[in-house]
Structure 1
């Protein structure tokens, strides 16, 4: 970024910065304190599972079973340790994201412009702010060009306020947004001393809403907890009625309650979302709220701005159209004297300190083509900011020495044709030229001049009598590889809408070059203002290109798509994109060329402006959603045999009613917890995931079909365990042997279930090829612990079971395999039927039709 800042603005020296920071501190608003490790631990100890473990440990201590009590205490440490590790890992990932979200600020120090983290701004600093930036400290303007600011965050007023050295109020405030122009201000207050700090507002204090998936999971877990309480009371009562032993019946009831409570699910959800956001951060995608990860995978419509999103935003000046000669001059012919006036007024209508790519090009071409640079001789005495539909802007300069006045305007060609003194025939000819150049993907700006001797300037710039001079013709080429990005988006079943302020012809040309599929005419922003809600919905369904769109129109279209049950991702980088970015389910801002307003409004920022990263984000969202479903289905399936193995022998009056005690249940919980929340989170994306249509956000995280599959899986494992129970008992096995067979079968079934549920479509032989280093580690540790429990006498005695022979182990494994691997046949049948019913057309062909 290069600005022609007045030389007398030197800023603070390094010594002055240190002295200021020592006196006034750093530019931070103190929000609610971060969770300490102690508060994290305290929250974990309030979890229902930990409370159950503590209750069981107390009971064992009361009855004098100190070994079991010690194991329970160890389990408390292990469970809380795993939860603490997960929570701390999630917290650190989110803190890293928060750190990356801090914007950089531009300051002048020791006569040099540098960029610093916003929290390092010191009182006395000279800060440079420009269109699209959020002001980060309170201060007073010392230099400005066409500067206006939106102070709605402080005043509630949505209108922008024009400020300069000449205006009565030249103060700027932290948290307000620059709508136009540029200003240099001297910092007077930072952090808590700013107006915003005193009000006590902070982005960090905003509470994010629960996502639909989070709400569904919370509801499910609460429902299971209620069932657990009811069943606990029933079993406790029934057991006490049978045995008359209150302590023993209480332990049976608590064992069942522990087996019912799916406490792994909320831990898994938090882990998946936080680590998903952290992994995306490493890919160059900053997620501001971890729940956005979940929404990404459900995206059904991508609304994209054109300039800087589809295109490079380089704005190369390709040609100049001179109205007097009715001739188009290509690059290389700009030194022709005929063009001098057009180039001069195009430059004068730009900002004296340009920050827009097109305005920078116009200043550059002025420098290259004019014999004498007279910019230093003129001073801007009045300006009309960019406004109107379509927009235009006007600048008035004066040379005091020669008493010469220049009035220059530029803007959308239609706007300049409307205010210039032209005949209808001339306008028709110019519109034909606009259309012809627009079809080639060029962006045009009309340029005009005016004469006005008096100082009582009209209130509106459109009231000047303008003389039309010609067009500046810019070309902003599509980004390299953008066609492949849109192909992947279409393959994923996602629709694309282009919502831009540019003309229909230019947008059509760029859309065609970028590979955007379009078979309907473009719609102009002015056309949609008076449409009803129903008409907007119909329009949003059939239209792909929306042109000459202003902020309100962009917002209307995003809201219309949302009301039509679309999950909308809005891509943009400018000030005019901010309302739509805020309203969309996922606002996506560009990190390099995006304005601070766009980044503040967005929920996701692509660091290097590479649109392909959005495809990466959508893929990550789908992978995470798919994996969390697998984890939850695994939890449901494995909980069912634990619950029924604890309860059925009791209710059916079998010879060994307490086949499992809290010790066995908690051991199983310790295996299942890491499997669902750590191992499944690390699963790669299944092939064809990005060839499927997005899921509906209104879907429950498990539909009845998926839930019924998990229940059937659980019941089949239960069937296998009960068969082992009866078989061992009929073979003359005592309680310890029966428990060993049941326990071993359940461990084997758990391992096989975790492997077969890695995919609900592809076979276990296919999924074994998936790269997930955590699976072999968890399986190996589980088998080693099982071997220790079975064959180390002290462990076997503690778990009240005995070592098994090779034949018994094989029997247990065979029963576990049959009770789990039937699902592989189901998947094979499902694959065969999907091949037989596969449509002949691809998704892309369907979209084209």
Structure 2
């Protein structure tokens, strides 16, 4: 009987191939030339993207910044004072600073656009008779699109062929229950979304089960989604906690600066009667306090960091995930394809109490061939699943296959279910019918007679301990319709076990060891047999933890599961729905969780995790859209690389913000203190502009380019609620700036006693520039020595540029007159340098004392 069935399967596969060929003939799709013509005529299949910002938008936003308005106001104030040079200089500086803003924003926008292009959805279409993957915006009317489980429908289309397709149309209808689809004629009149058993699918909806061929009839704004509202393209995700906290801090400092500046203007105007000069001093003070760099840091660092990650095959879909990566404490990862190569090969068969190794080119015994052929019969003929592909390849490699008998047709399929991890397919040749089943040994054994269960489960455990992926195979012969709703009711006979090997990736042990050194726990979550999972865990370096299984998890409540997961390194026999319970249980214990996934059922866990990570190659559109990160190469080391990059980005953002906070203190003090003490005003708007030309590139370009610190991946994860600039860090930065301010005030006061005002001002200003560079150097690495040993070309360029501009301000007469400076004696420039050196020595001393504590 089985020989006939096997031969029938061969003919049936041939018939399936003929049917596929006929389908391809009927649905060859458009030609490439015709698709290009329609794309040019109709435009891309996309809603208007209002998130893209051209140079006009960037320029308009820069022109509305308070710093820009203060500069423009100061330039206008110099005109009634009869000082056109200062006015022209400030206007030129306005142009220069706007140009710098355009450069920074343009660099950021280019990085974001690169991310948009990478994350753009794709779809499989039939063109020129061949299936090819194209970006969804390139789909046109008349295209034949192939939809499978997990795909997002790219355009409104009529269903041409379908196999059990269910679609989630809640985006358009609000109805969360998926609806079935049937095939219809290409000229079927359009209908509104909603309702089951319709031949239409709509852009933006999700395929949650089955597959189909559809023909596109409406794209872009002409689709149902486009008609409902192109405003969807303008929706932006909410800002992260870091952005909210920093914007609040910036607003508070800005309000403080404006208040103090107003008081200063009133004091100087009342004291001297020169209200224009008083207003200029007030504008300078406002500019010195205004933390205009904070928004730049928050924009540039995540965007450029995400662009760097994309170059390493890690796509960041939500920039807020960058700040979370540095605090991730647990990585929950799949086994197959993430830790292993996802390259299955048949290694061992078990039948009638004996195991047999599979050797290439050696024919199997009849009973073993029967076992393998039944396993293939229980697989889809054109599935891309690596297990089913390995089974087909192993059967195709067998010599001496029998001549085909009359064909058999597949008449009923019971797909994989969360509660029944098995595939059952019923075949009929018109006279007799039989079922082939394959799945987890526990599931298949439970459907077979009691006497067959214990031996097969013991054999499955032995094969799993060898690191094999084990499936049990059974058949039910002599069956007849009607087919039951529950396939377990069929009379199965156990045929045996198939064991497949999926080797561990060579770079996994080093990546796992790196995570351990960083204090990050790696938790394997797999549907495999516990012994198989433990074998792979031993190879990966995860063998020192306990193992928990899906049936155990099903018996635990939330608190019990949270306690049970302590010390666990392997979760085996996990069904997709349990991933969500694992994520929430870990989060209840205070962990920051990153979870990988690729299927439709993984989406809830990916969304609930602090960082959801989707697979780029084998992942579904649903999983990719639910996740913050997408691994374009599906490799675990890429996730570790993202973790490292997240820590580096957060560390550099922290350095940059601390530098900005510290650098503004001495500028503010030198803008405020001299007028209060009756000294000559040192800082006017041109001086502040000069200083901003140093601070702006330093905070956004130099620190963004800063290499990671040694030992970055040997530190524990930072706490979840730790801010990039918390109160303690802000206070420490302000104290560093205050230390520099006291030294600079002493330098200016001493110079005023010994030198004319113009030379004293030049001495203090030179000291201010050198101290600013000293603060920049102090924040770079774990000490001045380490900073000097670590190359950063951008920092070197900024330092040399600042010194060149300072030289021009001191010795170029036109610039010196503009700044109201006179060249000081060389010995007094030595005092400026000494001030910066003393400041650095004091900061290094406090760093050493803090490290000892």
TM-score (norm 1): 0.92
How far apart are 1:578 and its partner, in Å?
2.5
The alpha carbon displacement at 1:365 in A equals: 3.0
Would you say the 8 A contact 2:763–2:828 is kept in 1? yes
Q: Aligned equivalents of 1:186 and 1:790: distance in 2?
A: 73
Distance apart, 1:508 and its partner CA: 1.1
Give CA-to-partner distance per residue, 1:467-497, whole Å, 9 cap, x none. 2222221111111111111001111111111
**Equivalent position SS for 1:682:** coil
**Counterparts in 2 of 1:346 and 1:225: CA distance versus 1, 3 Å:** same
Conservation of the 8 A alpha-carbon contact between 2:523 and 2:571 = yes
- 244-253 or 715-724, which moves further after superposition? 244-253
Query: 2:622 maps to which residue?
Result: 597
Q: Conserved in 2, the CA contact under 8 Å of 1:309 and 1:573?
A: no
Once the two structures are superposed, what CA deviation does each residue of 1:40-83 show, in whole Å capped at 9, x if it has no partner? 11111111111111222222223332222212212211222111
Corresponding residue to 1:817 among 834, 837, 853: 837
Which moves more between the two structures, 715-724 or 100-109? 100-109
Give the corresponding residue for 1:840. Answer: none
Equivalent residue for 1:838? none
Count of aligned residue pairs for this structure pair: 819
Asked whether 1:421 is paired with 2:449, we answer yes
Q: Distance in 1 between matches of 2:149 and 2:472?
A: 22
How many angstroms does 1:639 deviate by? 0.9
Which deviates more, 199-208 or 604-613? Answer: 199-208
Q: Aligned partners of 2:141, 2:498: CA distance in 1, in Å?
A: 43
Q: Which residue of 2 aligns with 1:350?
A: 379
Partner of 2:581: 556
- Is 1:779 the counterpart of 2:808 in the alignment? no
Q: Is residue 748 of structure 1 aligned with residue 770 of structure 2? A: yes
CA drift of 1:372 comes to 3.6
- Please say which of residues 545-554 and 8-17 is displaced more in the overlay: 8-17
Task: Report the CA distance between 1:313 and its aligned residue.
Answer: 1.2
Structure 1 residues 573-621: Cα deviation after superposition (integer angstroms, max 9, x where no partner)? 3333332222222222222333333222222122222321222211211
SS at match of 1:410: strand
User: Equivalents in 1 of 2:179, 2:795: separation in Å?
Assistant: 60
SS of residue matched to 2:474: strand
Give the one of 402, 410, 421 matched to 1:391: 421
Q: Comparing 158-167 with 687-696, which one deviates more in the overlay?
A: 158-167
What is the CA distance between 1:115 and its match in structure 2?
2.4
In the TM superposition, what are the counterparts of 1:412-811 in structure 2 within 5 Å? 412-423=440-451, 426-451=452-477, 453-520=479-546, 522-529=547-554, 531-651=556-676, 653-656=677-680, 658-731=681-754, 733-759=755-781, 761=782, 763-811=783-831
Of 104, 128, 132, the match for 1:114 = 132
Unpaired runs of 5+ residues, structure 2, are 1-15, 185-195
Once the two structures are TM-superposed, the CA of residue 830 in structure 1 deviates from its matched residue by 4.7
The residue aligned with 2:58 is 40
Aligned equivalents of 2:831, 2:406: Cα separation in 1: 94
Query: Matches of 2:401 and 2:160 in 1, distance apart?
Result: 32
> Aligned in 2, Cα 1:375/1:95: closer, same or farther, shift over 3 Å?
farther
Rounded to whole Å, the distance in 2 between the matches of 1:446 and 1:143 is 33
Pairwise CA distance, 1:694: 1.2
In the other structure, the counterpart of 2:82 is 64
Alignment check: 8 A CA contact 1:713 1:820 kept? no
Helix, strand or coil at the partner of 2:703: helix
Further displaced range: 255-264 or 202-211: 202-211
C-alpha separation between the residues in 1 aligned to 2:368 and 2:178? 36
For normalisation by structure 2, the TM-score amounts to 0.91
Cα drift, residue 156 of structure 1: 4.4
Consecutive unaligned residues in structure 1, runs of 5 or more: 835-849
Give the superposed CA RMSD: 2.4
**SS in structure 2 of the partner of residue 737 of structure 1:** helix
Shift of the alpha carbon at 1:165? 4.7
Are residues 775 and 191 of structure 1, via their aligned partners in 2, closer, same or farther at CA, if it must alter by over 3 Å? same
Distance 1:220 1:68 in 2: 32
Measured at CA, do residues 24 and 747 of structure 1 come closer, stay the same or move farther in structure 2, by a change above 3 Å?
closer
User: By how many angstroms is 1:159 displaced?
Assistant: 4.9
CA contact (8 A) 2:165 2:180 kept: yes
- 2: distance between equivalents of 1:559 and 1:476? 30
Q: Is the 8 A contact 2:437 2:475 kept in 1?
A: yes
Of the three residues 91, 94, 103, the one matched with 1:73 is: 91
Question: For 1:680 and 1:768, how far apart are their aligned partners in 2?
Answer: 14
Residue 704 (structure 1) shift? 4.0
